[in-house]
Each structure stands twice: as C-alpha cells, then as structure tokens.
Amino acid sequence: MNTFFRLSMLLALTSLLICPLWADSESTKTTSDSSDVTVVVTDTATPHPVSESISTISVITAQQIRENKAETVADVLRTIPGVTLRQNGDPGSPATLSIRGSKPSQILVLVDGERVSSQAFIGGVDLSKFLVDQVSRIEVIRGPASALYGSEAFGGVINIITKQPSVSGVDLTYTEGKSDHQERAFTARYVLPSVQCLVSGSFPYFNGDRPNSDYAGTDFTGRVILPSVKGWELSLFGESYRDLQGNPGSEFQPSTTNRQWNNRTNLELSGKHAIADGQLTVRVYDTAQQMSNKDSAWGTDSLITGKSGVVDANYVRQFGAHQLLCGLEYRNETYEDREGGFAPTLANNSIYNRALFVQDNWMINPKTDLVYGARLDDHSTAGSKVTPRIGINRQIIPNINARASYSAGFRAPNFVELYYNNYGTTGNKNLRPETSEQFELGLNMTLARTTYDFSVYQVNGKDQIVWGPYDDPSHVYTATYTNVGSTRQRGAEFSIGRSFSSFLKSDLTYTYIDSRDTSTDTNLPGIPHSRLALTNALDFFKWNAALTGRWVSGTPDSEYREVVKGRSPAAGPTYGNVPVRIPGKTIFDLTLTYQGKKAVKPYIIIRNVFNTPYEEVAGFPGQGRSIQAGVRTGF
C-alpha cells in the first residue's frame, strides 16, 4: 500500500504542475451551470464553490438526508470518505467519529459555525444527540482547520447548518418500527416581510434490542429573524435538547442498572452589518451541557456540567484581487464534576481563550486562487499557539481543478485531562497541547453528469495525550495523562457522483488509510484500513428508492475484559484493555419514499436489510434488521 500511496501523491502533484501557474490574463474560470454548483462556507468562512476550495470538504444536502431517512448526524456521516463513525450498538447509544485517523476529541463540531465541542467532556461530541429534522446541510472539513477555528480543529470540522424560515407552513412526521422505535417531529414556520420565525420539535424513542438499551429524547429549536435595526440584520436562535437512556454495557460486562441523561441548551444572538464595502458579523452565544450517570450496582453517581460563553466577530472585504477576512474570539468555559456514590468529590474549574485570526484569498489570475492565513490563540492553560495554513487551487482546464495545501492544528488539554481526581485517575496540570500538520494534494472534476474528487494526504501528530498507569510500581493502580504519543496517518480518498438520468443517480466513495502510533509502531485502534460506500437513488412513478451499501475492512480495537484471575478467593480478578480485531462487514439499507402531489407522503425504512451481525465498537453489537414505516405531511 505504500507504493499505492506514493503513486497517488505523484499523480496528484503532476496534475498541479501540468499547467504553469501563470495563465493568460484574458482567460476566465469556466464552471458548470450555476444551478449544479455546490457552495460551501466552512473551510474559509466565506461562500465559494466546493470545486475551488483548498481543503477537501464533503457536503451532505437536505435532499440526501431525506432520501436516506437519517435520524441523527451520526447516521448521515457513515458514507463520507475519510470519516469513521463508531456507535455503541443501538440507536441513541453514544456515537463518535474520527476523521483521517484522529481521535473523537480532536474533531471540532459546530452548529451554524458556532462551537458545541466542550472541554468538559473527554470523549468528543456524541453525534447521536444531534437530530437532523431541522438540518439544511452538513459540511465536513477533512483535515486540520485550527487556522480559522482554534483548538479541537486538530483533525477536522463538522459544521451542522440548520434550516432558515422561508415560507409559512407546518410539517408533521411520524415513524413507527421495531422495538417501539418511534420518531415524531413537527416544524412551524411563520414568515412576514419584516419578521421570519421557525419553531420545531423532535421526539425520538427506542425501547432497545438489549436489556437496558432504551432511549427517549426531546429536542426543541427556534429561530427568529428580526427586523433590521440601523442597518443590522439580526437573528435569534435557541435550542433545548434532553434525553434519558440506559447504558447496557459490553457483552462481556453487561449492565442492567446503569442509567444516563443528557441535557444541552443553546442561546445565540447574531448580527450582520455592511461597513465600508465589507461585512461585519458579530455573534454572542451561550451553551450549557450536562451529563448525569448513575449505577446502583456499582454505587456511582456523577453529574458533569460544562458551560461556555463566546463572543466572536469577523470582517470580510474585497480589495481588488484579495478577499481579506479578519476576526477575533473570546471564549470562557467552566467545568463542574459532582461525583457521588462511594467516592464523593466536587471539582470546579474554568479556562478562557482569546484569539485573533486573519486570512487572504488572493485570486492570482482568473484560474488560480491562493489562500493563506493564521490564527493566534492565547489559552489560559495551554499558552499561546499560532496555527498557519496555506493552499492553492488551480483550474487546469474548464471543470477540472487541482489543489495543494498545508495546514496545522492543535488541541488544548481538556478539563478531565488537567484536573480529574477520582476512581484511580489523576489529572496532569503540566500537559502540553496536542499538535498536527497535514500535507495534501487533491483533484476535482466535473465531466458531463459525473463529478469526481480525489485526494492524498499525510497527517503528523505530536504530543498526543494518552492515559496510563504511573511508572512507579507503588502506584500501579493509579493512572494519569501524559504527552507521550506521536502519530502518522497517510491515505487516499476517492468519491464519484453520477447522474445517469433525471431519475437515477449513484454516489461511490472509497477510503484507504494507514494510521499508526509511531511511538509504539502499532495501528491506531478503531480505524479500518479500507472503507467503501455506494448509494443508488432511483425515482420511479411517484416513488424514490435509495439503496446504500457500506463495506468496512477488519478493524483493530481493544476490549475491556478480565486479564488476570484472582490469586486467592479474596483477591478479585484484574481487568484491562485487551487488543482485539473487529471483523469486516457489509451492511445494506433501503428506503422507499412517496414523492407525489398528495399531502400525506408515506415511506418505509429497512436498516441492515440482510440482518448482518456487526460491531463498530468491540463488545457492542450493532442493530440487526429494523423495519420502520412512517408518514410526512405539510400544509
């Protein structure tokens, strides 16, 4: 595979150099019809066609979400190249992701450009808690983006972009399926010339296939676009999410007593104002997240609360061939951990982060764009950090663009790694931030009805924070966090989308990745070498049928289990993480949706059509065949 990787790099580099960087100044960029152009905003914070991006970025549209009948953001991301989604079994169970071999804590999650990643929670953002009923599209940056977004954008960025009120009306959805799997949702929109409002609610429920695997959630969102005030375009957004679920544990260590609830609230006010031929955007938002876990059998009872208050602003303006973006951010985060049960503790800590960033998008000539910028973060625990990036996008011939980029990322230590002190684990206040750098080449082509995207990359990570026991034998049962790890990920990603006709289209993605812990020369756990996904969507009569197949190679992982038997009846066994390998799998999903003019539109969802046994996390079986039926109506 190393030979394959080198040939891929050579192919992409050759495509960049096939034409000189200077071009006839009278030439102009040629693109396909504007109605077919996909516009993105996340990688530069300004709108532009995805084909002209310096980053590799995937876009999931509202239409794709409807066709696949996804319920959560986690469901949506399973077919994206470079993304590995791992869920602990049934719907509603924790689901985190990796981008190009990164850890879940190294991925920044945004909602409408605002961060929901919190330093209070160690395992990354649980994407099963983000419902898609009000999602307009999702943009995924594959690679470091700290030059714009700072900490946590170490390995990539997920930007969940919500719907805006457009026309007045009401939408209702109801789904029923196996194990009392229900999805109920409503959306109400009220649009006037000066004020637009949107209110929505979603109520998922699942009784679970395993004991203690039930899940019930509620999610309310609201948005009001206010009348213009002295040139300011104002918008107010709020969300309240809450759930209650059982944690059934792994098959080796099942639990019928572990219960958990999650709570997330968000309130945001944003404003835009035209100033001196540019646009100023200011946002103020506050996010609070809680996770409570109680297990009567083990005598544990915890409540973790993370709060963040953010003020950010950016200004963008065109100066000839240069589009300049500059901005600032102030963020304050607090952490409270209440541990009850047999080891009661109370921890309270806070951090702040101040940042400045600047970016220039320079159109060197009508066929060549150069984007470069940097961000300075002043973090109260991680210190000052500068993260740069530079990239070029070159149109080789009409509808064929090549790109090359370098980007850096970092992740500041979170509250748990710094301050936690319970159950045999102590924090380390001397931790350094994790850092990454990525080198990437890519090619994007649109030929007739087919779009191709190909990229090769290498990511180097340093100062990886790992958890493990003290070297001192007298502290064999005490563990802490240290900067000892280094990683290297290299890979290739390919996607092709083809519209065979007005009623048949296909999307194929392939991912190869070689991810290694260079300090131990071992494969990174949870990252498969190869992944393939194929989606076919067919419109026939008044129905749409979407069939998705996902193949994943065998995956190295670890499972917590007994490793040493007790030496006497009084001495209990010793447990630890044992290396295992998750077998490869092929999973098919099928949806049928009525698209006629009737007000009531029924649909059918069949997950795991062939009832294939599989795991995404070792010891946690995935859901077997599931059949759901539902209706959607609007007026």
* Full DSSP string of 391-445: EEEEEEETTEEEEEEEEEEEE---HHHHH-EETTEE--TTPPPEEEEEEEEEEEE
Supply the DSSP symbol for 568.
S
Q: How many CB atoms lie within 10 A of CB 89?
A: 25
Q: What is the pLDDT of residue 281?
A: 96
pLDDT, mean of residues 569-587 = 77
Residue 395: beta bridge partners? 401
Mean pLDDT of the chain: 88
Q: What is the pLDDT of residue 477?
A: 54
pLDDT, mean of residues 551-571 = 71
Dihedral sign from CA coordinates of 106, 147, 28, 23: negative
- Res. 292: pLDDT tops 60: yes
pTM comes to 0.91
pLDDT digits 0-9 by tens, 150-177 = 999 999 999 999 999 989 999 999 999 9
Are 270 and 235 in contact, with CB atoms under 8 Å apart? yes
pLDDT, mean of residues 22-49 = 60
Q: What is the pLDDT of residue 300?
A: 85
Q: What tokens does 547 get?
A: 């069939």
pLDDT digits 0-9 by tens, 235-253 = 999 999 999 999 999 988 8
- Res. 567: pLDDT tops 60: no
Q: What is the pLDDT of residue 335?
A: 92
Range with lowest mean pLDDT among 277-286, 450-459, 530-539, 554-563: 554-563
pLDDT digits 0-9 by tens, 324-359 = 999 999 999 999 998 876 556 778 899 999 999 999
Range with lowest mean pLDDT among 66-80, 132-146, 206-220, 550-564: 550-564
Residue at token pair 């699942």:
206
Q: Which helix (H) or strand (E) holds 4?
A: helix 2-17
Q: How far apart are alpha carbons 67 and 594 in whole angstroms?
A: 10
Residue 70 sits at φ, ψ, to 5 deg, of: -70, 150
Q: What is the pLDDT of residue 174?
A: 95
**Helical H segments across 135-217, by residue range:** 146-149
Confidence of residue 18 (pLDDT cuts 50, 70, 90): very low
| CA-wise closest residue to 409 among 433, 431, 441 | 433
Helix (H, G, I), strand (E, B) or coil at 52: helix
Name the region of 191 (left: φ>0; alpha: ψ -120 to 50; beta: rest).
Answer: beta
- Res. 473: pLDDT tops 80: no
- Res. 32: pLDDT tops 60: no
pLDDT digits 0-9 by tens, 512-548 = 999 999 988 889 999 999 999 999 999 988 999 999 9
Q: What is the pLDDT of residue 66?
A: 85
pLDDT digits 0-9 by tens, 195-218 = 999 999 999 999 988 999 999 999
Q: How far apart are alpha carbons 7 and 497 in whole angstroms?
A: 23
Q: What is the pLDDT of residue 581?
A: 93
| CA-wise closest residue to 290 among 307, 304, 308 | 304
Superfamily grouping for domain 2-22+42-634:
TonB-dependent receptor, beta-barrel domain (2.40.170.20)
Confidence of residue 563 (pLDDT cuts 50, 70, 90): low
- Res. 21: pLDDT tops 50: no
Tell how strand 479-501 and strand 504-517 pair up: antiparallel
Confidence of residue 118 (pLDDT cuts 50, 70, 90): confident
Q: What is the pLDDT of residue 299?
A: 83
- pLDDT, greater one: 14 or 322: 322
- Res. 562: pLDDT tops 80: no
pLDDT, mean of residues 133-145 = 93
Confidence of residue 589 (pLDDT cuts 50, 70, 90): very high
Are 450 and 497 in contact, with CB atoms under 8 Å apart? yes
- Res. 10: pLDDT tops 50: no
- pLDDT, greater one: 486 or 563: 486
**What share of the chain has pLDDT > 90, as a percent?**
71
Q: What is the pLDDT of residue 120?
A: 84
